[in-house]
Amino acid sequence: MIVATAGHVDHGKTSLVRALTGVDTDRLPEEKKRGLTIDLGFAYLDSLGFVDVPGHERFVHNMLAGVAGIDFALLVVAADDGPMPQTREHLAILELLGVPRGAVALTKIDRVAPERADEASAEVAALLAPTRFAGSPVFPVSNESNSGIPQLLAYLKQTANKVGERKAGGNFRLSVDRCFTIAGAGLVVTGTAMSGEVALGDEVRALLADAKARVRSIHAHNAPAARGRAGQRLALNLAGLHADARIARGDWIVAGEVPPAVTRLDVRLNAIESLKHWSPVHVHLGAADVIGRVAILDAKEIAPGKSALAQLVLEKPIGAVRGDRFIVRDQSARSTLGGGAVIDVFPPARGRAKPERLAYLAAMEIGDDARALEALLAQSPTGLDLARFAANRNLPAMSGWRFSETHRRALRDKALANIAAWHARSPDTVGPPEDRILEGVRLPREVVVALAQELAAEGAIVREALGVRLPSHRVELSASDMALWQKAKPALEEAGTRPPPLGDLALQLSIDPKRLEAVLSRAARQGMVVRVSKNRFFLPQMLRQLEDIARAEVASGSPLTAAAFRDRSGIGRNLTIEVLEYFDRIKFTRRVGDVRVIRGQSPNYGDAKLKELGL
């Protein structure tokens, strides 16, 4: 169990940790000199890990770096002073962060009369009463005489046993709060593991530094370990980092399908002071401190004690997933304004306050993953990207695009209606390309193509070379066009993979070139022939042969250059350029410098139509 101290400066937090563990957490020379905790300190005892945080108002940013992901808050209040300003601010921070449990150490009881100790205890109880920590036990202690220390320690160990280990679901995420180099070992990062597990030898990456590494060694709660898991304080010795990797406090060490670093977060924001739209703030999430602004989505202002949906617009990228807690402080970093939880790390570029977007956030805010998915699908007419949904909520990787059954049927009906409308407008063509059957609906191309494939599989549409059609739709050449086609087709078959230019073919067939072009163009719209360039038509099966040649060249391990394709196909330089440029246009290949890479599956060159026509 990770325990964080909290409270006003000079109330004895560091002395208390030393009394409990025997460890002096003030490690910096400046801390020794001034007798003041400036940065985070750490101590361990059995199953307990202690994070000692600074109490001075100037170092609240360091305090915030240490309390992310803790299990237990130990509020330290001096009996002679009672609750002070930082006591109240730290308590507000702990509540905003959703720390689940806590206790109070009433220190310096050896310096006050019993009556004052009772009075201070009552003041603390009144302070806690309206918070989630109401009724938390108060332990009067003296760090000097050790009075009350055994009782407090026993309670912490008992609580740790009851709490047990935190569930380690999700991808591994460690919030980095320290980073240093050890001679002979290399880079070490420390922090709290927020989710998942990591083992020796695992490949990980620093999210903000964009650097890959291998876990060379692990210390969990200051002891060597083969594995680390959520809920533990870990030190990871990382190997294999490139020389210019810059990992620092605020970064994340992650593994798996974790969202990329982002500069916009949609959140639920709870205010403890008035917050206006576009207020400049410091955003503290994990161990990061980033300047940004608050865009309130469903109001112009958030009153103290109220909450609202908001978007945090940040100056620098930050790592986050849904459910991460955060704190916002004012522009000068002097006071805490509020805090809350992340809802979505993939906000749209526009329309952040539209009703449909707010409805989406309401569904995403649901805690149960299955219920949230059901709610999102119900109010998403264009479906849901499962990879984003899983990454956002730190779930095991998912893929594909999912629709509710109602929305799927609506899209199916719209696609069929669009195809029918196309037939009505252009009866002499096959139909729309398969990626245009949902014209006017914003969906990724691959999702539209997948829907077309589903419709084809169930027989609702027929896929042709140049488009898709309804089964009832027939495109026929006129008798005169068919007569001319019957003359052109044998000539194209004889030419094979080297069809002549249009003018030469017209001369060969003793046909007017314009008449031949018109007929071949109409035949191309039916998938009987393919127009590769302005003056060249191919039979579909011949293009497939050339496509196979391109695949064979790549499979041989050679780069697919124009020269290599020319030599392997034997079609000549000029025709090679025409064919390769056509392959680029239909996205079968992609040109990278002087080389082509194969990027897609074989196009449908009209098998169904050719079979239907007996050709």
Q: Is 422 within 8 Å of 439 (Cβ atoms)?
A: no
Report the percent of the chain where pLDDT is more than 70.
Answer: 94
Q: Is 430 within 8 Å of 467 (Cβ atoms)?
A: yes
Within a domain: 474: no
The letter for the amino acid at 404 is S
CB count in 10 Å sphere of residue 466: 22
Q: Is 393 within 8 Å of 322 (Cβ atoms)?
A: yes
Helices then strands, each counted (H, E), the chain: 18, 32
Within a domain: 241: yes
Mean pLDDT within 115-132: 96
Residue 34 above 50 pLDDT? no
pTM: 0.78
46 and 138 in a common domain? yes
Among 357, 386, 401, the domain-final residue is: 401
pLDDT given for residue 602 in this prediction = 47
Mean pLDDT within 465-482: 85
pLDDT tier for residue 474 given thresholds of 50, 70 and 90: confident
567 and 457 in a common domain? no
114 and 37 in a common domain? yes
Mean pLDDT within 416-435: 90
Q: Phi, psi (5° rounding) for residue 137?
A: -65, 145
pLDDT given for residue 26 in this prediction = 61
pLDDT in tens, 8-17: 988 988 899 9
Residue 608 above 50 pLDDT? no
Residue 52 above 90 pLDDT? no
Query: What is the rounded distance in angstroms from the CA atom of residue 316 to the CA atom of residue 254?
Result: 19
Mean pLDDT within 467-481: 87
16 and 148 in a common domain? yes
Taken as a whole, the chain contains a residue count of 615
pLDDT in tens, 317-326: 999 999 999 9
pLDDT given for residue 525 in this prediction = 76
Token representation of residue 297: 């989505």
3-state secondary structure of 528: coil
Query: What is the rounded distance in angstroms from the CA atom of residue 475 to the CA atom of residue 522?
Result: 10
3-state secondary structure of 63: helix
141 and 6 in a common domain? yes
Residue 36 above 90 pLDDT? no
138 and 16 in a common domain? yes
pLDDT given for residue 167 in this prediction = 82
Query: What is the rounded distance in angstroms from the CA atom of residue 328 to the CA atom of residue 334?
Result: 11
Residue 605 above 70 pLDDT? no
Task: Name beta bridge partners: 342.
Answer: 267
Q: Lowest mean pLDDT: which of 355-359, 501-505, 609-613?
A: 609-613
The letter for the amino acid at 370 is A
pLDDT given for residue 609 in this prediction = 38
Residue 524 above 90 pLDDT? no
Mean pLDDT within 546-565: 93
Within a domain: 94: yes
Give the DSSP letter string of 332-390: TS-SEEEEEEEEES---SS-TTSHHHHHHHHHHT-SSHHHHHHHHHHT-TT-EEHHHHH
Among 110, 129, 163, the domain-final residue is: 163
491 and 418 in a common domain? no
pLDDT given for residue 228 in this prediction = 96
Q: Lowest mean pLDDT: which of 43-57, 186-200, 308-322, 564-578?
A: 43-57
What's 230-279 look like in SS3? CCCEEEEEEECCCCCCCCCCCCEEECCCCCCCEEEEEEEEEECCCEECCE
Token representation of residue 444: 């990724």
pLDDT given for residue 613 in this prediction = 37
Closest CA to 68 of 144, 145, 177, 148: 177
487 and 574 in a common domain? yes
pLDDT given for residue 606 in this prediction = 41
pLDDT given for residue 164 in this prediction = 78
pLDDT given for residue 65 in this prediction = 77
159 and 12 in a common domain? yes
Mean pLDDT within 47-53: 87
> What Å distances lie between residue 95 and 90, 106, 209, 325, 341, CA to CA?
9, 19, 31, 10, 12
Task: Using CB atoms within 10 Å of the CB of residue 615, give its burial: 0 to 12 exposed, 13 to 18 middle, 19+ buried.
Answer: middle
Mean pLDDT within 544-559: 92
Mean pLDDT within 403-422: 96
Closest CA to 107 of 1, 2, 14, 4: 14
* Domain at 157, CATH number: 3.40.50.300
Total domain count for the chain?
5
Question: What mean pLDDT, rounded, does the chain reach?
Answer: 90
pLDDT given for residue 33 in this prediction = 44
Task: Name beta bridge partners: 318.
Answer: 262
388 and 269 in a common domain? yes
Question: CA dihedral in degrees (454, 459, 460, 462; nearest 10)?
Answer: 90
3-state secondary structure of 97: coil
* Domain at 562, CATH number: 1.10.10.10
Closest CA to 543 of 528, 558, 556: 528
Residue 105 above 80 pLDDT? yes
pLDDT given for residue 59 in this prediction = 54
Q: Phi, psi (5° rounding) for residue 459?
A: 85, 10
Q: Is 207 within 8 Å of 260 (Cβ atoms)?
A: yes
- Out of 38-52, 252-266, 419-433, the most confident range is 252-266
pLDDT given for residue 184 in this prediction = 82
Closest CA to 156 of 233, 70, 79, 39: 70
Q: Which domain does 201 fall in, by range?
A: 173-254
> What Å distances lie between residue 541 and 24, 63, 147, 335, 517, CA to CA?
80, 70, 92, 73, 20
Query: What is the rounded distance in angstroms from the CA atom of residue 356 to the CA atom of residue 134?
Result: 38
Report the percent of the chain where pLDDT is more than 90.
Answer: 76
555 and 454 in a common domain? no
Within a domain: 109: yes
3-state secondary structure of 187: strand
Residue 30 above 70 pLDDT? no
* Domain at 247, CATH number: 2.40.30.10
Among 163, 195, 222, the domain-final residue is: 163
Q: Is 231 within 8 Å of 193 (Cβ atoms)?
A: yes
pLDDT in tens, 329-347: 999 888 999 999 999 999 9
Within a domain: 168: no
Within a domain: 518: yes
pLDDT given for residue 39 in this prediction = 65
Q: Is 73 within 8 Å of 101 (Cβ atoms)?
A: yes
Residue 61 above 80 pLDDT? no
20 and 157 in a common domain? yes
Residue 92 per-residue DSSP state:
H
Query: What is the rounded distance in angstroms from the CA atom of residue 337 to the CA atom of residue 339?
Result: 7
